[in-house]
Chains A and B, each alone.
Chain A
């Protein structure tokens, strides 16, 4: 034992550090196990099953839950993501611009749309936009509105992600590009942004997962039967059958997409780690 060790342990009294550590871990395990057991014992499984896991009700949801509801959820999400990505890119570049008003405007946008609940933005798009511009229709009907609302929300987050990605590209890359004769815009497009996207691919995919869930807010826009997505579809069916099984099935459909996506993100992150090494 070295001198420092003895210094840290002035007196040999009671438990050693290692013993303390394993004791503390043992207590954590015990608390966790007790909580699980308490939940399993006190929950009324029979009623839960009755309310949430009726096989025949689940069966009658198919195939519509996939061909209509999941399809619409994916459509809403992707269109919102595309709008958000384009808008977010523009805002990120404005945020990094040398022109003061651009930076200022982008900052205001980010603060506002990051600070507002997505729900309010859906209501705003559904109500305020038609009021403000009477007679004009957002192209694409409900799909257009959802794309706009989700795009507005996600653009604020994506702009910050993209900005961070661009700033993470070493300064030397821009200098090298400029000294080869690239204009600032060309250097951004061919050299900086491709590298930034490699860095931000995992957080962008996370944003996709968030949007996937936020697409459920479409029900506040008022949708036709054909335009329903997973949440609305599940809720409607739950009220007609007076049973919550459709909610559970809809929930499982979300997980069907989000869990593989999360897996992809983790793969990308570990790959990015390797690339650095």
Chain B
């Protein structure tokens, strides 16, 4: 088997005294779709943000496409060009129209000429089904449309890997489907994807692997059928039962050590 597209080795990350990641090892192969699930505060977003070094790991190594991202001498801007990132809050550039959002990074970062950038932008807008919004400004779009534009913006840079940080968490429920449809299509086209999400249906249908994190460690890692369908650990079962049927949850005593829960 060829080298994994994303490789995380012994990753630790602390914010002050708060140890958010406590030794993560993870490999994601080329074309693989991995969904990372887990309760809030489990460190899953931090893990994702360490992959393109938006957060600097305290300890450990991250490789993307064979390049060590955590190498102090790495040209991080060059590495990031190969990693597309989609945020919970979309983070479109509000002062630019949709086409500008897609062309400006291509021109400033990749040095593409105006014509090429415009052509690539149009292709990728079509890919997310928003060709007709090319001249609209982000503020006039719905959340779902903004997120699809954000995906198109990342794709226009020609990434080898796509990271999604809770891409549907800020959306009204009826808009979630459009974004997931775009992601599903991307997965079918063979994109390597790492998705932090609460959408269990998406994880079950689209993911090749599901990783359950809690307290800064990976608790379970396996096929969706196994992790979601037949979880081995009590913590996974507990989390899933709350997620799948929130109305049935009992009132619990708050435990102070959300992050520092003991190992299973």
A interface residues, Cβ below 8 angstroms from B? 170, 172-173, 175-183, 186, 190-191, 194-195, 198, 275
In Å, the complex CA distance between A276 and B81 comes to 31
Confirm or deny: B6 has a beta carbon within 8 angstroms of a beta carbon on chain A: no
Q: Which of B78, B80, B95, B154 contacts A194 (CB 8 A)?
A: B95
**Residue contact A186 to B54, C-beta cutoff 8 Å:** no
Confirm or deny: B94 has a beta carbon within 8 angstroms of a beta carbon on chain A: yes
Between-chain CB contacts (< 8 Å), 18 pairs: A170-B89, A172-B87, A175-B91, A176-B85, A176-B92, A179-B54, A179-B80, A179-B83, A179-B85, A180-B80, A180-B109, A181-B77, A181-B105, A181-B157, A182-B77, A186-B109, A190-B104, A275-B139
Point out the residues of chain A lying under 8 angstroms from B83, CB to CB.
179
User: What distance in Å separates the Cβ of A197 from its nearest Cβ neighbour in chain B?
Assistant: 9
Confirm or deny: B239 has a beta carbon within 8 angstroms of a beta carbon on chain A: no
In Å, the complex CA distance between A181 and B110 comes to 9
Point out the residues of chain B lying under 8 angstroms from A170, CB to CB.
89, 91
Number of B interface residues in the complex (CB < 8 A): 26
Beyond contacts A180-B105, A181-B105, A198-B95: 20 other A-B pairs, Cβ-Cβ < 8 A, are: A170-B91, A172-B89, A173-B93, A176-B85, A176-B91, A179-B83, A179-B84, A179-B85, A180-B153, A181-B81, A181-B157, A182-B108, A182-B109, A183-B77, A186-B109, A190-B104, A190-B108, A195-B93, A195-B95, A275-B139
User: What distance in Å separates the Cβ of A6 from its nearest Cβ neighbour in chain B?
Assistant: 37
**Residue contact A180 to B95, C-beta cutoff 8 Å:** no
**Residue contact B80 to A181, C-beta cutoff 8 Å:** yes
Point out the residues of chain B lying under 8 angstroms from A194, CB to CB.
95
In Å, the complex CA distance between A177 and B80 comes to 10
B residues 45-93 in Cβ contact with A at 8 Å: 52, 54, 77-78, 80-81, 83-85, 87, 89, 91-93
Interface of A is mostly: helix
A-B pair number, CB within 8 angstroms: 59
In Å, the complex CA distance between A83 and B106 comes to 33
In Å, the complex CA distance between A170 and B110 comes to 24
Point out the residues of chain B lying under 8 angstroms from A176, CB to CB.
85, 87, 91-93, 150
Q: Mark B15-59, 1 if CB is under 8 A from A, else 0.
A: 000000000000000000000000000000000000010100000
User: What distance in Å separates the Cβ of B105 from its nearest Cβ neighbour in chain A?
Assistant: 4
User: What distance in Å separates the Cβ of A184 from its nearest Cβ neighbour in chain B?
Assistant: 9
**Residue contact B78 to A195, C-beta cutoff 8 Å:** no
Residue of B nearest to A183 (CB): B77
User: What distance in Å separates the Cβ of A198 from its nearest Cβ neighbour in chain B?
Assistant: 6
Listed residue (A170, A176, A198) with the most chain B CB atoms within 10 angstroms of its CB: A176
In Å, the complex CA distance between A137 and B153 comes to 52
Listed residue (B85, B91, B92, B153) with the most chain A CB atoms within 10 angstroms of its CB: B91
In Å, the complex CA distance between A198 and B154 comes to 25
Point out the residues of chain A lying under 8 angstroms from B87, CB to CB.
172, 175-176
Point out the residues of chain B lying under 8 angstroms from A195, CB to CB.
93-95
In Å, the complex CA distance between A175 and B109 comes to 15
Listed residue (A176, A179, A191) with the most chain B CB atoms within 10 angstroms of its CB: A179
In Å, the complex CA distance between A34 and B133 comes to 61
Residue of B nearest to A198 (CB): B95
Which 5 A-B pairs give the minimum distances between C-beta atoms? A176-B91, A181-B81, A179-B85, A172-B91, A181-B109
**Residue contact A175 to B93, C-beta cutoff 8 Å:** no
In Å, the complex CA distance between A195 and B137 comes to 14
Residue of A nearest to B83 (CB): A179
Q: Which of A173, A175, A183, A190 contacts B54 (CB 8 A)?
A: A175
Point out the residues of chain A lying under 8 angstroms from B93, CB to CB.
173, 176-177, 191, 195
